[in-house]
């Protein structure tokens, strides 16, 4: 089987294209990464390129030593992933120290992995640990409505979580741990990676003010579905705020407690402060 014929590569490409279709990936905006399973690496081993030079990641991820990732390329357009995947995406291998990577497939016209590689890998390292190896997908998208909300809501985990939960009953079911928010920072480096990975210790969703969102999940469907649900909730909130300044009725603290009881959710009291 060629690398392009494997299920995880096909699923990755479909997810990237679904994200483009949502309008979340203007130009080269956004990036996606997948921690490849050992049996998937074994199945493609004979088709990987001869190992090239190691490159510094710019972050230290010893918890990912020896792992392989499928990631989008820096500067590549999501629009083009489905058109010419071998140009736009790449398989990288992490070294035994977790300090360096090398390219093993893809990017056939040259280039590097995503500019957000430090954040992707630091998030993967945290999520691999806290999910006991279950989480494999990290997704960054420029989701219009969440970005718009970061101009008008206080940049607190409590306010964003609570407002997004209220907008659709499925929200506390889909992201019961809530969402984390960080204020504006320069993207593409170690500092924003450290702040984002701190949020990933607790949440599966991290919002970057005036920029976009990161989501983590076990597989492509769950991670895309999470991004989609949070962004749709933000769209509803923007519609509500645009219609009137005060909500006439909403989902109350006690309603969330009842939902938690019946759906066996652990909804922290931290977010149930309104009464």
Q: Which residues are catalytic?
A: 116
Residue 180, both tokens: 């984390």
d(CA 42, CA 26): 35
Each residue 178-207 as x (binds ligand 2HA by CB under 6 A) or -, in order, gives ---------x--------------------
Decide the pairing of beta strands 89-94 and 212-217.
unpaired
139 contacts 215 by C-beta, under 8 angstroms: yes
Residue 42, both tokens: 């074994």
- For residue 52, the minimal CB distance to ligand 2HA (Å) is 23
175 contacts 226 by C-beta, under 8 angstroms: yes
Pick the stretch among 26-34, 125-133, 197-205, 248-256 that binds ligand 2HA (CB under 6 A).
26-34
Nearer to ligand 2HA, 63 or 74 (CB): 74
State the residue for tokens 């998937």.
40
Would you call 213 exposed, middle or buried from its count of C-beta atoms within 10 A (0-12, 13-18, 19+)?
buried
Judged by CB under 6 A, which of 31, 143, 161, 216 binds ligand 2HA?
31
- For residue 188, the minimal CB distance to Zn ion (Å) is 8
Pick the stretch among 61-69, 85-93, 208-216, 248-256 that binds Zn ion (CB under 5 A).
208-216
Nearer to Zn ion, 118 or 212 (CB): 212
Residues in touch with ligand 2HA (CB under 6 A): 28-31, 115-116, 140, 187
């Amino acid at each position: 089987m060629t690398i392009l014929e494997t299920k995880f590569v096909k699923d990755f490409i479909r997810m990237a294209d679904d994200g483009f279709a949502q309008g979340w990936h203007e130009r080269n905006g956004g990036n996606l990464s997948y921690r490849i399973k050992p049996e998937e690496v074994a199945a493609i081993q004979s088709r990987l390129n001869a190992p090239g030079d190691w490159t510094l990641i710019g972050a230290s991820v010893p918890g990912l030593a020896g792992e392989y990732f499928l990631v989008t390329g820096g500067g590549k357009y999501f629009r083009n992933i489905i058109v010419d995947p071998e140009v736009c995406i790449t398989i990288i291998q992490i070294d035994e120290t977790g300090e360096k990577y090398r390219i093993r497939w893809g990017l056939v016209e040259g280039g590097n992995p995503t500019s957000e590689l430090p954040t992707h890998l630091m998030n993967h390292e945290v999520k691999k640990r806290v999910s006991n190896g279950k989480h494999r997908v990290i997704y960054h998208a420029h989701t219009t409505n969440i970005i718009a909300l970061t101009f008008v809501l206080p940049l607190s985990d409590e306010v964003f979580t609570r407002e997004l939960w209220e907008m659709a009953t499925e929200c506390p079911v889909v992201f019961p741990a809530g969402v984390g928010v960080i204020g504006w920072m320069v993207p593409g480096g170690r500092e924003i990676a450290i702040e984002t990975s701190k949020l990933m210790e607790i949440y599966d969703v991290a919002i970057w003010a005036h920029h976009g969102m990161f989501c983590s999940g076990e597989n492509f469907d769950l991670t895309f579905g999470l991004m989609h649900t949070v962004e749709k909730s933000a769209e509803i909130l923007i519609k509500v705020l645009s219609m009137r300044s005060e909500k006439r009725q909403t989902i109350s603290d006690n309603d969330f407690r009842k939902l938690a009881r019946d759906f066996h959710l652990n909804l922290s009291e931290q977010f149930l402060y309104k009464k």
